[in-house]
């Protein structure tokens, strides 16, 4: 069989929500090309596998990757409420049994035992599996290194929080943690602050996240969806001292350098790029809040009224089902000013010279893509790592602003658009984000740190 020529068998476990599985899959694809005699079994839910494999042209998928569908934990005939993490809770409840089942199937089919375990870092139980199999655990951190550090320092954060619980603790900053002095308590992602036992029982997801900080130090290597050159010194030095095998393999949702324009035409089914071609340089506001967050109806209305009143050309990625929340007649009135599409080729949109600002939810991949293309941001964070990302963008990198109160109103949006697109402060932001773009391009180049760290990862996987 083809498998008999394979020397190693790497098991990969995805976290199938939001834009988590895509960067992991992109890393595995690169690894599979680099180590053709290693087999990669990719464990993920059927839905997530389907969307990944549909999106990647199947001829682009190396034959030494095989996807396995694992149970998503959704009971038969289950009716979902509107709660965004309901599916996550059901999946986490079904772990690790669903992953074990997949592993058994793959080991039997491929005829090779597992040599290492690469997982989304959220799947903290993977450390137990790796110990049972006596193989290294290699977590991949999709978010920014700042949130990684937050998990690593969870005990210290608890102590700090308990000491400051009395007054306005949310506004306190994490000064005692290297590199996190600008992060506020209220920015912290789910699963960090102490929560009551009943909550932990109700939320297997939070329970899993709350264990991360203790599990991560037991990993063999950690892979970041990030560039070493983008860290502030104290954060990098501190993490490297705790994780000597910290690798930064670069932004995983982007091909760097960007592919040349002729390849893009088939991606432009909604005509976004040809519409952008007709706009003035750096004039357009691109609006998207990622794949999970939903802007509440009243904020959708306020945002629409703001862009219309401002006259700023806009490209809005908005699912059809939310179009009802737009003001009456908005689409007709703004047909010359803007374009609303259910899905945009975001990385190409951000790379386009007409794009002037990105109105975003501060999802990690979106922030990475904006920085890699030198586009300043206006953000409205929702949950998870968005508030931390917003803090970094606004206060550490100075490449965007967070909308006052984290809620969109007509006047706040108009003010923010003006500030970024017209005012001196906006020009300053653009300069800064352009210089970050230069850093990323260099870091992603053939002699950059990402290529070096990727090579190290390949060597680690091949040597086992």
Site for ligand UDP, rule CB under 6 A: 18-19, 253, 288, 290-293, 317, 343-344, 346-347, 363-366, 369
Determine how β-strand 400-402 pairs with β-strand 65-70: unpaired
391 in Cβ contact with 182 (< 8 Å):
yes
Rg of the chain over all Cα atoms, to the nearest angstrom: 22
Cα within 13 Å of Cα(211), Cβ side: 15
88 in Cβ contact with 72 (< 8 Å):
no
238 in Cβ contact with 459 (< 8 Å):
no
Nearer to ligand UDP, 89 or 238 (CB): 89
Closest residue to ligand UDP in the complex (CB): 363
Least gap, CB of 226 to ligand UDP (angstroms): 13
Coil/strand/helix, residue 68 = strand
d(CA 104, CA 110) in angstroms, rounded, equals 10
| Active site residues per annotation | 20, 120
d(CA 425, CA 225) in angstroms, rounded, equals 29
Q: Which of 120, 106, 97 lies closest to 27, judged by CA?
A: 120
Nearer to ligand UDP, 386 or 415 (CB): 386
* 203, two tokens: 């939320």
Nearer to ligand UDP, 22 or 306 (CB): 22
Nearer to ligand UDP, 69 or 270 (CB): 270
Least gap, CB of 255 to ligand UDP (angstroms): 12
Least gap, CB of 107 to ligand UDP (angstroms): 31
Residue reference for tokens 């975001």: 346
Least gap, CB of 344 to ligand UDP (angstroms): 4
> In sequence order, which residues have a C-beta less than 8 Å from that of residue 332 and are 6 or more positions away?
none
Least gap, CB of 456 to ligand UDP (angstroms): 25
Nearer to ligand UDP, 13 or 293 (CB): 293
Least gap, CB of 96 to ligand UDP (angstroms): 23
What per-residue string of b and e applies to 403-440 under the rule 16 or more CB within 10 Å gives b? beeeebbbebbbbbbebbbeeeebeebbebbeebbeeb
Phi and psi for 149 in degrees, rounded to 5?
Answer: -60, -40
Residue reference for tokens 């219309």: 308
Least gap, CB of 170 to ligand UDP (angstroms): 23
Nearer to ligand UDP, 41 or 346 (CB): 346
Nearer to ligand UDP, 345 or 356 (CB): 345
Identify the burial level of 265 via C-beta atoms within 10 angstroms of its C-beta, where 0-12 means exposed, 13-18 middle and 19 or more buried. exposed
**What DSSP state is assigned to residue 96?**
T
Nearer to ligand UDP, 110 or 142 (CB): 142
Residues in the chain: 464
169 in Cβ contact with 185 (< 8 Å):
yes
Coil/strand/helix, residue 248 = strand
* 131, two tokens: 């110990």
CB atoms within 10 A of CB 77: 5
Least gap, CB of 23 to ligand UDP (angstroms): 8
Nearer to ligand UDP, 153 or 226 (CB): 226
CA separation, residue 172 to residues 69, 161, 163 (Å)? 44, 9, 11
Coil/strand/helix, residue 191 = coil
Least gap, CB of 361 to ligand UDP (angstroms): 6
């Amino acid at each position: 069989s083809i498998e008999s020529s394979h020397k190693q068998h790497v098991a990969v476990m995805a976290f199938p929500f939001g834009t988590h599985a895509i960067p992991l899959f992109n890393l595995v694809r690169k690894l599979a090309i680099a180590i053709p005699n290693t087999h990669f079994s990719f464990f993920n839910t059927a839905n997530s596998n389907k969307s990944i494999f549909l999106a990647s042209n199947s001829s682009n998928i190396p034959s030494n990757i095989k996807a396995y569908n694992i149970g998503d934990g959704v009971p038969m005939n289950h009716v979902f409420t509107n709660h965004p993490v309901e599916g996550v809770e059901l999946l986490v409840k079904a772990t690790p049994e669903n992953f074990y089942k997949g592993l058994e199937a793959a080991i039997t089919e491929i005829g090779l035992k597992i040599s290492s375990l690469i997982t989304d870092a959220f799947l903290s139980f993977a450390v137990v599996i790796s110990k049972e199999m006596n193989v290294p655990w290699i977590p991949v951190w999709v978010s920014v290194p700042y949130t990684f550090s937050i998990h690593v320092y969870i005990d210290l954060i608890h102590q700090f929080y308990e000491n400051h619980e009395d007054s306005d603790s949310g506004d306190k900053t994490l000064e005692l943690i290297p590199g996190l002095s600008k992060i506020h308590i209220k920015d912290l992602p789910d699963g960090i602050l102490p929560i009551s036992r009943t909550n932990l029982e109700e939320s297997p997801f939070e329970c899993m996240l709350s264990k991360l900080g203790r599990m991560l130090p037991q990993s063999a290597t950690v892979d970041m969806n990030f560039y070493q050159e983008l860290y502030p010194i104290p954060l990098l030095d501190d993490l490297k001292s705790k994780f000597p095998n910290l690798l930064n393999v670069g932004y995983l949702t982007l091909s760097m350098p960007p592919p040349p324009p002729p390849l893009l035409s088939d991606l432009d089914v909604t005509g976004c790029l040809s519409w952008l071609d007709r706009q003035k340089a750096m004039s357009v506001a691109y609006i998207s809040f990622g794949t999970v967050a939903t802007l509440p109806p009243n904020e959708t209305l306020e945002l629409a009224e703001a862009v219309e009143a401002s006259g700023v050309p806009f490209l809005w990625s908005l699912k059809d089902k939310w179009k009802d929340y737009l003001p009456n007649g908005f689409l007709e009135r703004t047909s010359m000013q803007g374009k609303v599409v259910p899905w945009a080729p975001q990385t190409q949109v951000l790379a386009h010279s007409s794009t002037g600002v990105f109105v975003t939810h501060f999802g990690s991949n979106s922030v990475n893509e904006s920085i890699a293309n030198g586009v300043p941001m206006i953000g409205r964070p929702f949950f998870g790592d968005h508030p931390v990302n917003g803090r970094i963008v606004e206060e550490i990198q100075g490449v965007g602003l967070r909308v006052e109160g984290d809620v969109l109103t007509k006047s706040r949006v108009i003010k923010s658009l003006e500030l970024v697109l017209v005012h001196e402060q906006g020009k300053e932001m653009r300069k800064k984000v352009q210089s970050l773009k230069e850093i990323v391009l260099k870091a992603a180049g053939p002699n950059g740190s990402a290529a070096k760290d990727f090579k190290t990862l390949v060597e680690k996987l091949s040597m086992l």
